[in-house]
Amino acid sequence: MRIGLGYDAHRLVAGRKLVLGGVAIPYQRGLLGHSDADVLAHAVMDALLGAAGAGDIGRYFPDSDSQYQGISSMVLLSRVKEILSGKNLKVVNIDTVIVAQEPRLAPYMENMVANMAQALEIDASQLNIKATTTEGLGFTGAGDGIAAYAIAMIE
């Protein structure tokens, strides 16, 4: 068994869609980034790559490469699954937390789990997604951005 930890954060800005776990969430701002800036998927990818001893997402999908401009993080998550498969590794389970003051995410969690489980070719029961606020503290509490943490176990 191997364990990896992932973290990602992006700034909220006007003129972008908010995408978390591959779900477009209605909100007046979205996350700024080279891809779709899905912090949840990025944290999961880094946790999986870390558990595999395979670096981080910047090594495979650098923001300096135009082919990743606006790409869906579900596509990238599928590619991380292929990297693991190439090393004869498989996901045991993943636990995550999204840190956001707004919007309310509970109505979208089931779809996030379904999207990410499909991209990773795992059962939905192997992936847990939680959300929390910071009670107004820090950049997430001020509504300036959204962050996500993930921990993954692979074998």
Which amino acids are annotated as binding site, given as ranges?
A: 8-10, 34-35, 42, 56-58, 61-65, 132-135, 139
| Cβ pair 10, 19 in contact under 8 A | no
Q: Which of 117, 70, 71 is nearest to 96 (CA)?
A: 117
- Feature table: binding site for a divalent metal cation: 8, 10, 42
Residue 120 token pair: 């990773």
Helices (H), 89-137: 109-120
Strand duo 145-154 + 91-99: pairing: antiparallel
Cα–Cα distance for residue pair 126/122, rounded to 1 Å: 7
